[in-house]
Chains A and B, each alone.
Chain A
Amino acid sequence: MTPPTPRARPVAPVWLDRALAFAGATAALLSFGLFAWLVWDLARLGLPRISWTFLTGEIEDAGRSGGIGPLLVSTLLILVCCLALVIPLGTGCALWLSEFVRRGSLAARLVTGGVDLLASVPSIVFGLFGMVFFGQTLKMGFSILSGGLTLACMILPILVRTTLSALEALPADLRPASAGLGLTRTTSIVKLLLPAALPGIVVGITLGIGRALSETAALIFTSGYSIRWPSSFWDSGRALSVHIYDLTLNVPQSGAMASSTALVLLALILVVNSAAVALSEHWLRRRHQTS
């Protein structure tokens, strides 16, 4: 309240504080408004069509009518493939970087550098790589497997980075505490470090899921266009995002369908992410309270 020296002029006048607060509030409002407008616009166009038959039905008339059932299944299967590869690979890589090599060593710098470079590769390049490597070299062809694995490569850097920073942010005395009790490294990692870093790892997985579900370019050449019900990971299957792209670009008078599909995709991301968070919280709580 009272200035340190009487009559000393404040360095920054009070109106500047107010202006800054106002500018901040405006920016926040605009950001939220953008989100709200986007959702509202999608809902206005897409919501009327959404029904159980839309969610489970097959595509008709090139997507102008019918549903998106097979695509929903394909999308989920692609995601399963992707996560099954990227979670062990990403956590393993981050664990190795944080627990097994010295920070700043040549090996560590090479790996982090490589991972960071991966993060800046455009997704269309991942698509081409996936088509050649998974599709042709590994003979997976146009398949859900090809698509999922390509996505895994694409979101790997996100997972490595978030897991690594979660591990590095752990209290520094956790490691001497466990070493001082004669715990093996494995016990220390599995029972102490990973559970403590889990919330951070889940954030990484959540971001990765968002990225993966909204990806188009990496999937067009890998999991392909097929709109039939997939019967295995080896089948081609069109992802929701690819469908939206296809409708918008190639199918006239399908705008409402595209909006409905986009709405479903948005809801899917929300559901999968909340499931990931809830699962990890449940697991942590159990870990905390029982053996």
Chain B
Amino acid sequence: MNSTGLSRENDAETPSSGGHRTVAASLSVSGLSVHYRDFTAVGGIDLEIPEGEITALVGPSGCGKSSFLHSLNRLTDLIPGCRVAGSIRLSDGTEVTHPKTDVLSLRRRVGIVFQRPNPFPQSIRRNFEIPLKEHGWRKRDIPDRMETVLREVGLWNEISDRLHKSAIALSGGQQQRLCIARALALEPEVILFDEPCSALDPIASGVVEDLIHSLRGRLTVVIVTHNLAQARRIADRAAVFWVRDGIGTIVEHGPAERVFTAPSNPDAASYLSGARG
């Protein structure tokens, strides 16, 4: 209830316990392609995304990182004319791309945070109430859930006295942490980040980066970033996207350490060394 700074939620290093049903899930992608009408943006993707680890997707602009990321929780469905082929399997056997898959519960399990912070233009509290209610949380459990995740993202002390105020009035960095908290509130198993820091100033960016790093072990994290230093700091695994024959694909992937220090693909090597891209 009235947890102070010493409570368990505040310690982000320990895998969360006590009431959380969160378990990380792994994703296994094979033969995936994303098409916009006749245009194939991404093709031939095979990638294992292990549970509880941070996988960074890097590569030059326009090579299909976002398209790939959005296919992981079917946000690609929102774009008219966009089609995804191939297989994305969650560790419990759920086939993401299958037409009969329950998209709404899939998106609860595979959450997403976007480049531009996008809180709802309502009160901070409503930002949690709407999605939590939607996914079956009881009304009386919502305040606790909200407090827990706001503590996890380090916002509780900053904003606990203005939960009834508009979320839009927060600073960009606070808004982004609010969006992360909102995604975490639904107890996802995987969380996708699409350049979560690129709209933020360096300090706010550092805070968000630490926060993402702290999710390691509890959740499976997939993060697209243009900041190679950031990818190096936080990622366990990395995948380099590159446009080959007009189609975006993964040219190098594996443990982050190896990908960044000894890439075998020449395109990836030149991109990572800063020579191209």
Contact = CB atoms under 8 A, between A and B. Distances in A.
Nearest to B103: A182
Contacts of B104: 182-184
B186 interface: yes
A173 B166 contact: no
23 contacts: A174-B118, A177-B114, A178-B120, A179-B78, A180-B73, A180-B111, A182-B107, A182-B108, A182-B131, A182-B134, A182-B135, A182-B186, A183-B104, A183-B130, A184-B134, A187-B130, A187-B134, A195-B122, A196-B121, A288-B166, A289-B164, A291-B126, A291-B129
Interface string A247-291: 000000000000000000000000000000000000000011111
Interface string A47-61: 000000000000000
Nearest to A183: B134
Contact of B123 (A180, A181, A192, A288): A288
A191 interface: yes
Given A179-B75, A180-B107, A173 B116 contact: yes
A289 B123 CA distance: 6
Contacts of B75: 176, 179-180
A192 B127 CA distance: 10
Contacts of B77: 179
Contacts of A175: 78
Given A290-B164, A291-B125, A182 B106 contact: yes
A104 to B, nearest CB: 10
B177 to A, nearest CB: 15
Which of the listed residues B105, B116, B126 has the most CB atoms from chain A within 10 Å of its own CB?
A: B126
Range for the number of chain A residues in contact with chain B: 20 to 34
Interface in B110-167: 111-112, 114, 116, 118-123, 125-126, 129-131, 134-135, 139, 164, 166
Contacts of A196: 121
B78 A176 contact: yes
A13 interface: no
Question: Main SS of chain B's interface residues?
Answer: helix
Nearest to A186: B134
A177 B176 CA distance: 12
B182 interface: yes
B247 to A, nearest CB: 24
Contacts, number: 78
B145 to A, nearest CB: 14
B107 A288 contact: no
A287 B126 contact: yes
A3 interface: no
A180 B111 CA distance: 6
Given A195-B122, A287-B126, A291-B139, A181 B131 contact: yes
A175 B77 CA distance: 12
Interface of A: 102, 171, 173-184, 187, 191-192, 195-196, 287-291
Nearest to B119: A177
Contacts of A191: 130
B190 interface: no
Nearest to B109: A182
Contacts of A179: 75, 77-78, 107
Nearest to B108: A182
A72 B114 CA distance: 54
B19 interface: no
Contacts of A174: 118, 120-121
A180 B139 contact: no
A290 B165 CA distance: 10
Which of the listed residues B73, B111, B118, B183 has the most CB atoms from chain A within 10 Å of its own CB?
A: B118
B139 A181 contact: no
B80 interface: yes
B35 to A, nearest CB: 18
Contacts of B130: 181, 183, 187, 191-192
A102 B123 contact: no
Nearest to B104: A182
B254 to A, nearest CB: 29
Which of the listed residues B77, B114, B134, B139 has the most CB atoms from chain A within 10 Å of its own CB?
A: B134
Given A176-B78, A291-B126, A182 B105 contact: yes
